[in-house]
């Protein structure tokens, strides 16, 4: 019996969401490259709770796992359509944006066929020993434990739903849940007579629209947003150039205070709802109120309203203490259920704790990430630790965008192999984001934007 230790992997991926799946797909055909990607879930799932009928992607179908780097790859969306005998239906549909359910099915199709993806395998701990990463693995079905060694790691564990502090008292309450669980909890709202949606992004808009379609005037529906306006996501052609490698490089060159200010200011670039979804909501309300005054529909849309505290009501239901952000006026809102479309946040995986003392964290306890998406570490950790969708603070608004997923995966592969596995373009945008440097002089360090400049910047976001 051969008891020799298997050779280390060149790259071990922790988590299999769209970004690490892209990395797996682009790595799979590279000769001599040994890769393994692990996920504790039994199968690929992508935002399962938000696969609402009619919901569409906010990026074109070319933002698949591979096409913007290698359109000839067998893992492209067009090849998926060919395998499904759906090329002609897709051609005649003339749709640039896919249904969310189809994108999820496409990713599952790829994940089930990629030999370097292993589901039902949890990475419970990561160590640095003898010049290699050692991963402790657990089979989630049998409990069997094993180890794997690797020269490089790619963390693609995704983000976690955010429960705002104001709603802490409702954690676990049956009448309050995050939009990430919407489809699993939607049937429980069938007999509820007053429902409130909190959050102005795409998830909030989609949940509110779905509730409008499913409930008649017998149910009061309410949409609260802290933002002062339900402004649509930026979708102009030049505005979208913020989602190019050119802008990523520019953003990365800025001082940390400038980067943090910009991320907050550019909410319309990556947190707003699509104009199409907002239009559908308006169209539905218009149709519903034909022949009667608009204020007869039991529907409330209230932007510029912050929820400062939320608790179970003394007589059942929930009580939200709200504040109008412009006037400062406070009021108590009583409702039966709350859907929190309050976004997601990158989280440090528990398996990383044994390595935490070897990571060079920034002043806010975040990763320091270079342009190759490699995390800064102490000198004794010489292996490459790469992150995907955990570098918003260093790489900007394109970090969670699927359109940059394949490019980031290619950058990581080129860095891991030390050669050009995938040729990448030098220029991707017409826009020049940095000021020209005067001849013979260094380019000036950008100043932190003043509050009024941030307000102006927010009007041109996605």
Flag whether pLDDT at 446 surpasses 60: no
Query: Is residue 448 scored above 70 in pLDDT?
Result: no
Between CA 27 and CA 422 the distance in angstroms is 10
Going by C-alpha positions, the residue among 227, 200, 242 that lies closest to residue 401 is: 242
Q: Class assignment of domain 161-233+271-344?
A: alpha beta
Cα gap 61→147, rounded to integer Å: 37
CA distance 421 to 410: 8
β-bridge partners, 314 = 316
The per-residue pLDDT of the chain, averaged, comes to 92
The answer to whether the Cα torsion of 399, 259, 251, 411 is positive or negative is negative
Contact criterion met (CB below 8 Å) for 30 and 58: no
Structure tokens at 35: 């890769």
The closest of 232, 290, 220, 157 to 460, measured between CA atoms, is 232
Residue 309 CA to residue 166 CA, distance in Å, equals 4
Which SS3 state, helix, strand or coil, does residue 205 take?
helix
The pTM of the full predicted model, rounded to 2 decimals, is 0.92
Distance between CA atoms of 10 and 355, rounded to whole angstroms?
19
Mutual angle of helices 18-27 and 100-113, in 10-degree steps:
40
Q: Cα–Cα distances in Å, from 40 out to 19, 204, 217, 416?
A: 16, 28, 43, 24
CA angle 27, 32, 35 (to 5 degrees): 45
Give per-residue pLDDT as tens, 103-147. Answer: 999 999 999 999 999 999 999 999 999 999 999 999 999 999 999
Confidence label for 49 from pLDDT (cuts 50, 70 and 90): very high
Q: Is the pLDDT of residue 194 over 80?
A: yes
The residues near 285 (Cβ < 8 Å, ≥ 6 apart) are 212, 294, 297, 299
* Cα separation, 383 vs 169, whole angstroms: 43
Say how many C-beta atoms besides its own lie within 10 A of residue 231's C-beta: 18
Q: How long, in residues, is the chain?
A: 462
DSSP code of residue 46 = S
Q: How confident is the model at residue 248 (pLDDT cuts 50, 70, 90)?
A: very high
pLDDT of residue 4: 66
Each domain of the chain, given as residue ranges in start order, spans 11-158+347-417, 161-233+271-344
Q: What burial class does residue 391 get, using C-beta atoms within 10 Å of its C-beta: 0-12 exposed, 13-18 middle, 19+ buried? A: buried
Closest CA to 348 of 15, 75, 3: 15
Can 11-158+347-417 and 161-233+271-344 be said to share one CATH topology? yes
pLDDT tens-digit map of 311-351: 999 888 999 999 999 999 999 999 999 999 999 998 899 99
With contact defined as beta carbons under 8 Å apart, do 28 and 13 qualify? no
What pLDDT score does 1 carry? Answer: 40
206, 55 Cβ separation under 8 angstroms: yes
Query: Is 70 exceeded by the pLDDT of residue 398?
Result: yes
- Helix locations, 266-342, DSSP H: 267-270, 275-288
Reported as a single tens digit per residue, the pLDDT across 251-301 is: 999 999 999 999 999 988 888 899 999 999 999 999 999 999 988 889 999
Sequence-distant (6+) residues with CB within 8 A of 422 are 26, 69, 70, 410, 413, 414
pLDDT at 405: 98
Residue 438 confidence (pLDDT): 73
Mean pLDDT of 189-208: 95
CA distance 291 to 185: 34
**3-class SS of residue 223:** strand
3-class SS letters over 63-87: CCCCCCCCCCCCCCHHHHHHHCCCH
Strands 35-39 and 384-387: unpaired
Q: DSSP 3-state assignment of 285? A: helix
Q: Is the pLDDT of residue 219 over 90?
A: yes
On whether the 11-158+347-417 domain is CATH 3.30.565.10, my answer is: no
Task: Please provide the DSSP assignment of 118-148 as one string.
Answer: EESEEEEEEEEETTEEEEEEEETTT--EEEE
For residue 455, the model assigns a pLDDT of 33
């Amino acid at each position: 019996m051969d008891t020799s230790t298997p050779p280390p992997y060149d790259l071990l991926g922790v988590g299999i969401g769209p970004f690490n799946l892209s990395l797996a797909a682009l790595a799979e055909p590279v000769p001599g490259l040994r890769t393994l990607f692990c996920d504790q879930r039994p199968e690929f799932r992508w935002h399962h709770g938000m696969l609402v009928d009619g919901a569409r992607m906010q990026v074109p179908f070319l933002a698949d796992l591979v096409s913007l780097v290698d359109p000839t790859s067998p893992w492209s969306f067009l090849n998926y359509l060919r395998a499904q005998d759906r090329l002609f239906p897709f051609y005649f549909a003339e749709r640039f944006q896919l249904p969310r359910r189809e994108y999820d099915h496409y990713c599952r199709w790829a994940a089930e066929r990629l030999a370097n993806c292993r589901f039902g395998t949890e990475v419970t701990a990561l160590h640095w020993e003898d010049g290699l990463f050692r991963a402790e693995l657990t089979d989630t079905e049998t409990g069997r434990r094993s180890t794997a060694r690797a020269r490089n790691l790619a963390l693609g564990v995704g983000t976690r739903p955010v429960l705002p502090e104001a709603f802490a008292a409702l954690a676990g309450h049956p009448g309050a849940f995050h939009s990430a669980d919407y489809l699993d909890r939607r049937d429980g709202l069938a007999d509820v007579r007053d429902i409130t949606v909190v959050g102005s992004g795409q998830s909030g808009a989609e949940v509110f629209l779905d509730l409008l379609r499913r409930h008649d005037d017998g149910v009061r529906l309410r949409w609260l947003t802290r933002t002062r306006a339900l402004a649509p996501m930026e979708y102009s052609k030049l505005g979208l150039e913020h989602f190019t490698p050119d802008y990523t490089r520019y953003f990365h060159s800025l001082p940390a205070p400038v980067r943090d200010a910009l991320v907050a200011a550019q909410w319309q670039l990556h947190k707003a709802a699509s104009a199409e979804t907002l239009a559908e909501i308006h169209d539905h309300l218009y149709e519903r109120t034909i022949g009667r005054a608009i204020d007869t529909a039991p529907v409330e849309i209230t932007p510029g309203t912050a929820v400062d505290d939320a608790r179970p009501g003394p007589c059942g239901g929930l009580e939200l203490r709200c504040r109008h952000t412009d006037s400062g006026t406070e009021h108590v809102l009583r409702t039966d259920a709350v859907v929190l479309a309050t976004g997601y946040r990158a989280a440090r995986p528990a398996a990383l704790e044994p390595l935490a003392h070897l990571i060079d964290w920034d002043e806010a306890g975040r990763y320091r990430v270079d342009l190759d998406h490699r995390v800064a570490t102490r000198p004794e950790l010489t292996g490459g630790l790469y992150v995907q969708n955990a570098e918003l603070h260093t790489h900007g608004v394109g970090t969670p965008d699927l359109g940059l997923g394949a490019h980031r995966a290619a950058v990581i592969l080129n860095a891991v192999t030390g050669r050009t596995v995938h040729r990448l373009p030098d220029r991707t945008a017409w826009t020049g984001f940095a000021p020209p440097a005067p001849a013979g002089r260094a380019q000036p360090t950008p100043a932190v934007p003043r509050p009024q400049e941030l307000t102006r910047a927010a009007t041109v976001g996605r």
